[in-house]
Amino acid sequence: MRVQVQSRLAYNFAEPTETIAVVLAAHASGQTIESEKLAYSNGVRLSESVDPVSGGRLLRGRLDGPFWIEYSAIVRLAPRLELPAALQVAPWSQLPVGVLPYLLPSRYCPVDQFLRFAQRQFGHIAPGGARVLAILDWLHENLDYCHGVSTGTTSASETFIDRAGVCRDFTHLGITLCRAAGVPARAVSAYALHLDPPDFHAVFEVFLDGGWWLVDPTRLAPIGGMVRIAHGRDAADIAFLTTAGPVRQTDMRVTVTEIAPPSLVKPSYNTDTVEEAA
Amino acid sequence: MRVQVQSRLAYNFAEPTETIAVVLAAHASGQTIESEKLAYSNGVRLSESVDPVSGGRLLRGRLDGPFWIEYSAIVRLAPRLELPAALQVAPWSQLPVGVLPYLLPSRYCPVDQFLRFAQRQFGHIAPGGARVLAILDWLHENLDYCHGVSTGTTSASETFIDRAGVCRDFTHLGITLCRAAGVPARAVSAYALHLDPPDFHAVFEVFLDGGWWLVDPTRLAPIGGMVRIAHGRDAADIAFLTTAGPVRQTDMRVTVTEIAPPSLVKPSYNTDTVEEAA
Amino acid sequence: MRVQVQSRLAYNFAEPTETIAVVLAAHASGQTIESEKLAYSNGVRLSESVDPVSGGRLLRGRLDGPFWIEYSAIVRLAPRLELPAALQVAPWSQLPVGVLPYLLPSRYCPVDQFLRFAQRQFGHIAPGGARVLAILDWLHENLDYCHGVSTGTTSASETFIDRAGVCRDFTHLGITLCRAAGVPARAVSAYALHLDPPDFHAVFEVFLDGGWWLVDPTRLAPIGGMVRIAHGRDAADIAFLTTAGPVRQTDMRVTVTEIAPPSLVKPSYNTDTVEEAA
Amino acid sequence: MRVQVQSRLAYNFAEPTETIAVVLAAHASGQTIESEKLAYSNGVRLSESVDPVSGGRLLRGRLDGPFWIEYSAIVRLAPRLELPAALQVAPWSQLPVGVLPYLLPSRYCPVDQFLRFAQRQFGHIAPGGARVLAILDWLHENLDYCHGVSTGTTSASETFIDRAGVCRDFTHLGITLCRAAGVPARAVSAYALHLDPPDFHAVFEVFLDGGWWLVDPTRLAPIGGMVRIAHGRDAADIAFLTTAGPVRQTDMRVTVTEIAPPSLVKPSYNTDTVEEAA
């Protein structure tokens, strides 16, 4: 599948503020960036570097006053499989060392508070894919998707009580329950095809049978149409904008559209050419 | 300085439980492990691997029933400087990418909740060493060191309200305030000379002028006598024991003693030699 | 002083919902309701009763669909003294039994978490008026008055960390610190002269030397111009609208104006009469 | 039924501390105190007064150094019915004004956070006795009774996540869910027959069809054997000891035993008399 991604963010900084923007599609297995274009406010200088842990392509700078940034890309996505129930969790001693942090509590995923609930609710289900699928079903049955009930400081504890939230909240509670149930899980930011209304999306991945598997706990967008931006322990690691101080957002637009593959587009030009030649 | 470190931990596992122990002195700049010895329950197999992010030497295994582990080492420590007030914080764009996570909120350090307080309390002090020293003074003046008021799920928010805690709590609040005030900070687990009563110690490091500087927010032990075990975002990353389920501790003993350098010890061997010669 | 109070609230109830409105001026010492007028949506029947504990005049009913309620009153206020520093706290055994609950933790005032801070910060100041004045100064110096940082579930713990809020938050933290420092304190809802922008106001009272003394922790309105509506342990007890389910507010207007006393108004009537007589 | 109640509490106060003890059986409908005896440390003077809201008999004083208090009573209990499913909740406008506070959030019962969960989980069950019984079943199925997981500051939010606690925690979550589901509920402290190990017990009452109905969410003791001490919004209101500062408990013993009714005891006195007469 090929998708075209477009995003535009605009902010107003009241004073010079250290800032990191992470909006570029990641160079990751399963997705190929065919072309991309980045533009931002005149006079600003952002430095780009890749975070080897998050996979994110960081744009860093000290921003002041009004600022806008626009990104567009055409990305070819390899097909993604739905999570098979039969996948297994490896013993901790056989997990890659880099996977271990995704078993631990993090800012918005207080795993340490959920051990008893996870054991009670999911402990009887075979550890692995089946258990993760049970967690996803539980989220679907027990959470309402709605705006306005959570904020940027809402953690999985609050969502667990409040039983409602947005993609960020579903993802935090999903990650928390997976980790508490023994499955490594990490947050992923993505551009998502068919997400309505379009927005930056937060989903998560679980580590089973030696690989990371992507799932969308909100069930709002197909996993096959997601363009990965970055991953991390939770929203703190994958925010599309991190600033050292307060800032006011003045615009945010995201568009993700499926586009025909080059091989299918080409013939129509050929036909045109033939007609012209006639 | 040369110190001898000894620790013994014992647990009782009610059922087979995935476990990670991080008790070995780290191979880190500023400390040289001259000799070390590790022993644990017969019949147990632990695999050792180094976490490149935390620097920790992980011992992993699936444990059941009673378990004990003993470690001793002789470590030569390079002198450590007290944090100079004149050190500077670099702009974000000039920080190594690997340092950036230590500016973010983590499980026990909810930086996002403390931005206004940090600005009010420390914003007028030059960012850098002076600001960190002010934070350390604030902790010293505003927190009581006492046992029994915090638990393994206590975060810096609760310590900030309760105004009391142990080394872990001082460290979490210290890290939280540093990050909220713009200074990268990370937790460090250590064996600490002169800590009374002896115990695993939790301290923290700040990143200033291109390097990490160790500080002890409890002021209970000299930083020059600390043998580093691991570092991370907070206590979740550097626990000396992480388990996938409940476990009961049955013993914990730590001893750290300064020992004479080899050159001073030698005469006694000479004496022996003399005696032998006699 | 005589003030005219006017308020209008409007809501939309998605389904029949049990509701309590507390918007009428209280019959309380220090204020005399000279005249008042209450009106609300046609077809609705509200029952009025006085809560002997809160002093509030409760309007209760089961509401559905759009609903509006309008209240206006002319209230004569006796002068109110500013809190004297010399007032004393009585020993618990000499407090009226009905005052004791105002020493206890309540929903938004978790007194039990603040005992150590209150002792550290205010314990050296003579218990009584001086200590309350010190708490009011502390609030003024340490909190920013601002909208949008708190919600209806924000407690004093969160405000203590966040260092910002609205009148409700100032009041909750003020009450919490007073109780933790040994001074009975309760929340008061009021119509407040000179509050800008006009709104329902939340202030608090402390019990010293046998009486309740009103204070405004926000310092936004003079205590002499406040028309009392109800009091209670915290905002839960004195909300102007409590409903058994979700509801959407569609309008809220409050006006409080000082009006001339009758004695000054009367002459003009006399003049008229005289003229008529002429 | 007749029960004999005995309790002994001992404390050590580091400095003179305002204190309220509530350990005497209440004068309440359904229980008659046939005899009672109160004793406490020599030289201490406690004043007794009844709180008309809580029904508690308060013993107040300023205590210092070691202190002990012993209470014993013989109480005749009227039979108590198990909660019938058919009981109804009255509309708010028909509830006695004094019942309304028991619908509101309180310190350990943050009702405002549980509205959505209560509606999702219990909203389809007829409001009234059936709904309360469903809540009691839910507590029984979802909470583990265990010591050491909660403290004196634990609220129903934490218990809801942690899924474990003691009688106080079961009661707080039960009250929270009842209120959030529209049923007035209040905490009750009691001496409980057959509670093992014996201790002060915390249970709760719901207001249905014009009366308060006692339930024990832990299912550890029969409601027919409970001697009421006091009631209130939550544990803050009904603590057996409230102090203005820290205190160390040095002893606590509770005994509750069923004793034969006077009519059955009498013959033995008769026998004695006969013997004497002989």
Coil, strand or helix at D77:
strand
Residue B108: predicted pLDDT? 98
Question: Are the Cβ atoms of D93 and C237 closer than 8 angstroms?
Answer: no
Q: Computed over its alpha carbons, how large is the radius of gyration of chain C?
A: 20
Q: Which residue of D has its CA nearest to A165?
A: D116
Two tokens, residue C75: 């209230």
Do the beta carbons of residue A18 and residue A243 sit within 8 Å?
yes
**Residue contacts between C and D (CB atoms, under 8 Å):** 101
Phi-psi region of B209 (alpha: psi -120 to 50; beta: other; left: phi over 0): left
Coil, strand or helix at D139:
helix
Q: Where are the beta strands (DSSP E) in chain A?
A: 2-21, 31-40, 47-50, 57-77, 144-145, 164-165, 185-192, 200-208, 211-215, 226-232, 241-243, 248-259
pLDDT band for C53, please (50, 70, 90 cuts).
Answer: confident
Pair A62, A182 in one domain: no
By Cβ distance, the residue of C93, C107, C244 closest to D110 is C107
Pair C39, C158 in one domain: no
pLDDT in tens, A45-71: 999 999 988 899 999 999 999 999 999
Chain D: give the shortest CA distance to residue C224, in Å.
29
Residue A265: predicted pLDDT? 52
Q: Is residue A274 part of a domain?
A: no
Do the beta carbons of residue A219 and residue A212 sit within 8 Å?
no
Residue C259: predicted pLDDT? 95
Two tokens, residue A16: 């010079």
Q: Is residue D196 part of a domain?
A: yes
pLDDT in tens, A155-184: 999 999 999 999 999 999 999 999 999 999
Residue C54: predicted pLDDT? 87
Q: What is residue D197's DSSP assignment?
A: S
Q: Are strands C2-21 and C241-243 parallel, antiparallel or unpaired?
A: antiparallel
Pair C97, C146 in one domain: yes
Question: Are the Cβ atoms of A182 and B91 closer than 8 angstroms?
Answer: no
Q: Is residue C277 part of a domain?
A: no
Residue D36: predicted pLDDT? 98
Chain D: give the shortest CA distance to residue A135, in Å.
16
Q: What is the mean pLDDT of chain B?
A: 93
Do the beta carbons of residue C154 and residue C108 sit within 8 Å?
yes
**Residue ranges of chain C whose CB lies within 8 Å of a chain D CB:** 18-20, 46-47, 49-53, 58, 60-62, 91-93, 97-98, 100-101, 103-107, 109-110, 112-113, 115, 119, 152-153, 182, 233, 236-237, 242, 244-246
Question: Are the Cβ atoms of B161 and C120 closer than 8 angstroms?
Answer: no
Buried b (16+ CB within 10 A) or exposed e, A148-157: ebbeeebbbb
What span, in angstroms and rounded, lies between the C-alpha atoms of B126 and B132? 10
Residue D272: predicted pLDDT? 39
What span, in angstroms and rounded, lies between the C-alpha atoms of C113 and D45? 30
Q: Is residue C25 part of a domain?
A: yes
- The gap from C-alpha A272 to its chain's centroid, in whole angstroms, comes to 41
Chain B: give the shortest CA distance to residue A236, in Å.
6
Q: What is the mean pLDDT of chain A?
A: 93
Residue C263: predicted pLDDT? 63
Question: Are the Cβ atoms of C117 and B157 closer than 8 angstroms?
Answer: no
Mean pLDDT in residue range B136-165: 97
Pair C136, C180 in one domain: yes
Does position B265 have pLDDT exceeding 90, yes or no? no
Do the beta carbons of residue C223 and residue C210 sit within 8 Å?
no
Q: Is residue B87 part of a domain?
A: no
Pair D244, D177 in one domain: no
Pair C104, C151 in one domain: yes
Question: Are the Cβ atoms of A116 and D160 closer than 8 angstroms?
Answer: no
Pair D113, D194 in one domain: yes
pLDDT band for A123, please (50, 70, 90 cuts).
Answer: very high
Two tokens, residue A195: 């997400």
- Which residues in chain A have their CB less than 8 angstroms from residue B182's CB? 18, 244
Chain B: give the shortest CA distance to residue A52, in Å.
8
Chain B: give the shortest CA distance to residue A145, in Å.
24
ipTM of the complex: 0.92
Q: Which residues contact D5 (CB under 8 A, 6 or more apart)?
A: D25, D71, D72, D73, D74, D75, D191, D227, D254, D255, D256
Q: Is residue D144 part of a domain?
A: yes
- Which residues in chain C have their CB less than 8 angstroms from residue D52's CB? 97-98
Pair A247, A209 in one domain: no
Could you tell me what percent of chain B has a pLDDT over 70? 94
Two tokens, residue B168: 């872990």
Torsion of CA B231, B233, B234, B240, to 10 degrees: -40
Residue D54: predicted pLDDT? 87
Residue B270: predicted pLDDT? 40
**C-alpha closest to that of C20 among D94, D93, D179:** D93
Question: Are the Cβ atoms of D91 and C245 closer than 8 angstroms?
Answer: no
Residue D259: predicted pLDDT? 95
Pair D64, D167 in one domain: no
Chain C: give the shortest CA distance to residue D180, in Å.
8
Coil, strand or helix at C201:
strand
Q: Is residue C196 part of a domain?
A: no
Q: Is residue C10 part of a domain?
A: yes
pLDDT in tens, A70-95: 999 999 999 999 999 999 999 999 99
In the block, which residue shows the tokens 């010669």? B277
Q: What is the mean pLDDT of chain C?
A: 93
Strand partners, C59: C21, C48
Does position A266 have pLDDT exceeding 60, yes or no? no
Residue A274: predicted pLDDT? 35
Number of folded domains in chain C? 2
pLDDT in tens, C110-134: 999 999 999 999 999 999 999 999 9
CATH number at residue C184: 3.10.620.30
Pair D97, D69 in one domain: no
pLDDT in tens, C249-268: 999 999 999 998 766 554 44
By Cβ distance, the residue of D47, D106, D152 closest to C106 is D106
Q: Give pLDDT tens digits along chain D (278 positions).
A: 999 999 999 999 999 999 999 999 999 999 999 999 999 999 999 999 999 888 999 999 999 999 999 999 999 999 999 999 999 999 999 999 999 999 999 999 999 999 999 999 999 999 999 999 999 999 999 999 999 999 999 999 999 999 999 999 999 999 999 999 999 999 999 999 999 999 999 999 999 999 999 999 999 999 999 999 999 999 999 999 999 988 999 999 999 999 987 665 544 444 433 333 33
- Which residues in chain A have their CB less than 8 angstroms from residue D163's CB? 116-117, 120
- The gap from C-alpha B252 to its chain's centroid, in whole angstroms, comes to 17
Chain D: give the shortest CA distance to residue A226, in Å.
31
Does position B278 have pLDDT exceeding 50, yes or no? no
Question: Are the Cβ atoms of D161 and A157 closer than 8 angstroms?
Answer: yes
Pair D176, D110 in one domain: yes
Strand partners, C18: C62
CATH number at residue D19: 2.60.40.2250
What span, in angstroms and rounded, lies between the C-alpha atoms of B122 and B178? 9
Pair C64, C105 in one domain: no
**Residue ranges of chain A whose CB lies within 8 Å of a chain B CB:** 18-20, 46-47, 49-53, 58, 60-62, 91-93, 97-98, 100-101, 103-107, 109-110, 112-113, 115, 119, 152-153, 182, 233, 236-237, 242, 244-246
| Residue A10 CB coordination number (10 Å) | 17
Residue B119: predicted pLDDT? 96
- Which residues in chain C have their CB less than 8 angstroms from residue B172's CB? none
User: Which structural domain range is residue A63 located in?
Assistant: 2-78+240-267
Does position C273 have pLDDT exceeding 50, yes or no? no
